Structure 1
Amino acid sequence: MAVVVGMASAPGFAQQQTPPATPLVQPVPAVAPVQVVPPPTLSADQAAQLGKLLADAGFAHGLRHDGTATPRAGSNEAVARAALDYARAVHSGRLDTSDFQKDWGLRPAAYDPLPAFADAVKRDRIAAWFRSLPPPYAGYDGLQKGLEIYRKIEANGGWTALPAGPDMTVGASGPRVAALRKRLAVEDSDVVATGTKFDAELKDAVVRAQRRYGLNPTGLVSTGTLGALNVPAGDRVRQIMANMERWRWLPAELPAKRIQVNIAAAVLTVFEGDAPIASMKAVTGRPGNETPMLQSRIHSIVLNPPWNVPAGIAAKELFPKGAAYLARNNYKIIGTGAGRRIQQQPGPKSALGLYKFDFDNPYAVYLHDTPAQAKFASFDRLDSHGCVRLEKPGPLAQLLLRNDPAWQPEAIQEALGKGKTLRVQLQEQDKVQVYLLYWTAFASANGQMNFRSDPYGWDKTLAAKIERRSAITAVAAR
């Protein structure tokens, strides 16, 4: 961490008796004035057109939860300013730099909408410019359509929370089953909304709901399924709003070759030619040890990596277990006194397994193998200290090294067998962008909305920040 040290006054300066050779008050050098470029002048028709477009656009793109249309700005210049503010928000995010949390490391690129807006006004193509502003991704479009659907559900009263009680499955009956049918029918048009019996068709509907919510699709309605079904419709709206904002933080064009990790769902996907070619389960950070959102590039793979244990983990979890435990698990204490640290040596017990995928980032996180495989069988896989454990690191390493003749699968296995730590630099063309993202709402190909839990509470925080920032900018634009 860089340390900024303030300049200290020289000792005894105040006691010097010799008058200074130059005046104590120096003339301030002239500073060139900042050039403020005014927005373009709109015709009366253009101002009216923009006013109509702006009336509902912020609401449609999840920049506010309240459906009340924002008052139209009065003057020509005020309409132009409102259009520029909307353009910044819907193209690169509503949040200000000061609104980002430390672990929200994915930040939008700087964007100035004025040049394109001025050109659109000059050529009288304002509507086309307006349509070009949102992120050009099907994922964003799906969320926008889902936002409209769930806002209608919310406006119609949402749904009634299902009461707690015994688990429900085929053969159950009574008022709780009737309430379950009614609740499922709100999101699933194939469900018969009336009836008090839990039959095979209702079980199929429960399985569909569990898949939509990322739950184990058993068809048994227990605590986890009840919890997902009882999230209020308004919270689902805000969840969609938060995920739309995260789409706005992404670059205007994602690299066709990339690796994406959905932190909330704990899944890694490899893309080539802008299409998914491989996917695997992952284990991401537990609440309190959150995996940060970020964008970077994998530059190397470490075979047989040692684990340099972070100081906080060493102090809280390892040093208290004593020297015998550390020795049994191949940990080595390096240094003495306050500066001592722990390193786990490479081997079958190493917490990093056989592979570590390195990419530059300020959080000291990476992708890695693990000897603890049991968690991959779970639907809840948020259990790491912040790094991302991989279900199939070997195939991923082979995929990234497949163009390097020196590192074909046989060579990789030979190096692993020797047990020595070795860093393999990826060839320049094989270095791949990696995105750690937090997707908790997304639409499937048929338009059906899918939700995941918000384990870090980031959705509620982000949705509140969006609305607060929108309110601030609305006041400033008046």
Structure 2
Amino acid sequence: MNRRELTLGAALSAFAGSAVAQTAPAQSAVAAPQSQYQAALTSQLARMPAAVQPDLRAFYELNGWRPVWNTARLRTLNQAAGRAERHGLSSNDYFDFVGLAADPDTADMRTTAAALAYARVLAEGAVRPETVEELWEMEKNRVDLPVGLNDALVQNKIVEWFEGLAPTDIGYNNLSAGYVRYRRIIAQGGWPRFTARAGTIEPGSSDNRIPAIIARLVAEGDLSAAEGQRLTAQGLVYGPELQTAVRGFQARHGLGADGRIGASTQSSLGASADDRARQIALNLERRRWLKRELNPERIEVNTAAAIMVYWKDGRPVHSNRVVVGSPANETPSLEKPFASVVANPPWYVPAGIARREILPRGPAYLASQNMYISNGTVIQRAGPTAALGYVKFELRDSYAIFLHDTPSKAAFNLSMRQRSHGCVRVQNAVEFARILLTPDPTLLAQFDDAQASRETKRIQTGREITVRLLYWTAFVDGQGRVAFREDVYRRDRRLAEALGIAVDLPAVVADGRTDANDVGP
């Protein structure tokens, strides 16, 4: 991404000195009569791209078809554009003041177009999410930008308005600060390139890549500068202190934190500072797509990290590991209302899974799995070995995607937990169901009674709980560090291509074997 400094200088003087730029403050459509500039501005509007004409027309109608940009406003606009980097953006992609000054007769219209384009990226993102994900169904952020820009000009709050368009929640702000930090790391030279090799760097062994590992850990803050100097002086031995730092690196990247530098850890060490900064920028873009007002009680699943967080009263109060869709059966990005808890649910097997993975095994397999066929549908009875376990969390209109328990507990101990058919398997699911039902003792008692009797029972929660299935490959962890996950669904790559960002992310290295008998959703 281009990071040239945006300077005004003579360009601003030339632009502000033109007849178009020397204007009065913005006025409302009621107060402002048709001006002598209308013919020129409407002619310019007709030559603008069709996609931006409605917003430009709405804005200039609010201003009585008067030009609006003078020297003072341009300076504050430049200040707003100068903050683009903290959002993972380049101000030069939107504002070219030198080019505007070269043609002052059209500068006002083109400056407004640039301002609205930048505002839309901050408010809604640069890319339509449906174009880079196969199924994306979440509530988008929507802002009336012409009215907002007009009000900002009237109130002389241009910088504040632009900064308020991007998300202001702690997750976005912390990730934004992380992006600025990684840009600073890049400006300081980044970190040495790490070359992956076959085999594992075992604790206590020697390896000529140890200095590069130390430099990397110092750059990202897993080691202090003083610790890095001391360990570097100790030579090429992979000693206990460095092992502790590597375990922190592994945890931050969602890897098995065993201190052994195997294929998956080497793959993550191979990422450059530029690639990680760009990965953060991609995740800032994803966050800008989403509406800003959130249900204070909600369940959020990060499918890239395979982690679920339950929010109550606007605070995270509970988290679980989850198993989500495999790369061949991605869990989509959805936002749906939570509907009910089903104790001891049977599983109505989707036709595709039945056809590919169950029916070919014959009647004996169905009997061994407590399955039967009814009206052409394969059904698994509830029970201790049922694929849905002891509880199912139903969502409304969710394309048969839901959260549920599972008898296949071993997968929760894996680092790469993308291995279901698309649904979300929840660790300690019965405990989590009890947490959700605790506010109403009657509902909780119904659930506990059903669990004791092994009766299938649907229990309505009686309140609105939003479930959000998200894809964050970069986020800030509880220690304030930027955590990364590999792009298991390749959505980072598709988004980077749409944004024109060159990125080379580490390859995904799976751990553990897939259970051939695990056919759950």
Calculate the TM-score normalised by the size of structure 2: 0.76
CA shift digits 1:402-458 (9 cap, x unpaired): 23343234x32322343342211121xx33111111111112455422111111011
The one of 349, 374, 378 equivalent to 1:334 is 374
One-letter code aligned to 1:37:
A
Paired with 1:359 and 1:398, the residues of 2 have a C-alpha distance of: 17
Paired with 1:171 and 1:400, the residues of 2 have a C-alpha distance of: 47
Structure 2 unmatched ranges of 5 or more: 1-53, 101-106, 502-521
Secondary structure of the structure 1 residue equivalent to 2:493: helix
Given that 1:241 and 1:463 are in contact with CA atoms closer than 8 Å, whether structure 2 keeps it comes out as no
Paired with 1:273 and 1:86, the residues of 2 have a C-alpha distance of: 33
Pairwise CA distance, 1:176: 2.4
The reply to whether residue 246 of structure 1 matches residue 286 of structure 2 is yes
Q: Using the aligned pairs only, state the percent identity.
A: 35
The reply to whether residue 425 of structure 1 matches residue 465 of structure 2 is no
Report which stretch shifted further, 76-85 or 440-449: 440-449
The one of 382, 385, 388 equivalent to 1:346 is 382
The one of 81, 84, 96 equivalent to 2:113 is 81
The one of 398, 411, 415 equivalent to 1:375 is 411
The reply to whether residue 168 of structure 1 matches residue 209 of structure 2 is no
1:4-403 mapped onto 2 (5 Å cutoff)? 36-39=57-60, 40=63, 41-53=67-79, 55-63=81-89, 70-72=95-97, 74=100, 75-96=107-128, 99-155=131-187, 156=189, 158-188=191-221, 189-190=223-224, 191-192=227-228, 194=232, 195-335=235-375, 340-403=376-439
Pairwise CA distance, 1:313: 0.8
Given that 1:293 and 1:436 are in contact with CA atoms closer than 8 Å, whether structure 2 keeps it comes out as yes
One-letter code aligned to 1:192:
G
Q: Number of aligned pairs?
A: 427
CA shift digits 1:360-414 (9 cap, x unpaired): 23421000011111111222211110000111121222222223343234x3232
Distance 1:285 1:82, change over 3 A: same
Distance 1:139 1:98, change over 3 A: closer
Secondary structure of the structure 1 residue equivalent to 2:248: helix
Pairwise CA distance, 1:166: 3.6
Given that 1:265 and 1:452 are in contact with CA atoms closer than 8 Å, whether structure 2 keeps it comes out as yes
Distance 1:459 1:227, change over 3 A: same
Paired with 2:427 and 2:374, the residues of 1 have a C-alpha distance of: 31
Pairwise CA distance, 1:141: 1.3
Pairwise CA distance, 1:57: 4.1
Indicate the RMSD between aligned Cα atoms, in angstroms. 2.4
Paired with 2:175 and 2:220, the residues of 1 have a C-alpha distance of: 15
The reply to whether residue 461 of structure 1 matches residue 494 of structure 2 is yes
Report which stretch shifted further, 99-108 or 325-334: 99-108
Pairwise CA distance, 1:249: 2.2
Paired with 2:273 and 2:195, the residues of 1 have a C-alpha distance of: 13
Paired with 2:342 and 2:477, the residues of 1 have a C-alpha distance of: 36
CA shift digits 1:126-179 (9 cap, x unpaired): 122122121011111121122122234345255312341442233222412233
Pairwise CA distance, 1:100: 4.3
Secondary structure of the structure 1 residue equivalent to 2:136: coil
Distance 1:181 1:69, change over 3 A: farther
Secondary structure of the structure 2 residue equivalent to 1:460: helix
Paired with 1:130 and 1:69, the residues of 2 have a C-alpha distance of: 13
Paired with 1:98 and 1:414, the residues of 2 have a C-alpha distance of: 44
Distance 1:252 1:298, change over 3 A: same
One-letter code aligned to 2:150:
A
The reply to whether residue 449 of structure 1 matches residue 489 of structure 2 is no
Paired with 1:43 and 1:176, the residues of 2 have a C-alpha distance of: 56
Distance 1:444 1:399, change over 3 A: closer
Given that 2:347 and 2:382 are in contact with CA atoms closer than 8 Å, whether structure 1 keeps it comes out as yes
Distance 1:63 1:103, change over 3 A: farther
Given that 1:443 and 1:450 are in contact with CA atoms closer than 8 Å, whether structure 2 keeps it comes out as yes
Distance 1:242 1:107, change over 3 A: farther
Report which stretch shifted further, 195-204 or 397-406: 397-406
CA shift digits 1:228-271 (9 cap, x unpaired): 11123332122111211121122212222111111111111111
Pairwise CA distance, 1:47: 4.2
Paired with 1:301 and 1:443, the residues of 2 have a C-alpha distance of: 31
Residue 28 of structure 1: aligned partner: none
Pairwise CA distance, 1:184: 2.5
Paired with 2:167 and 2:348, the residues of 1 have a C-alpha distance of: 40
Moved over 3 A (4+): 38-41, 53-60, 66-70, 152-155, 417-420, 444-447
Given that 1:368 and 1:390 are in contact with CA atoms closer than 8 Å, whether structure 2 keeps it comes out as yes
CA shift digits 1:290-312 (9 cap, x unpaired): 11111111121112211111111
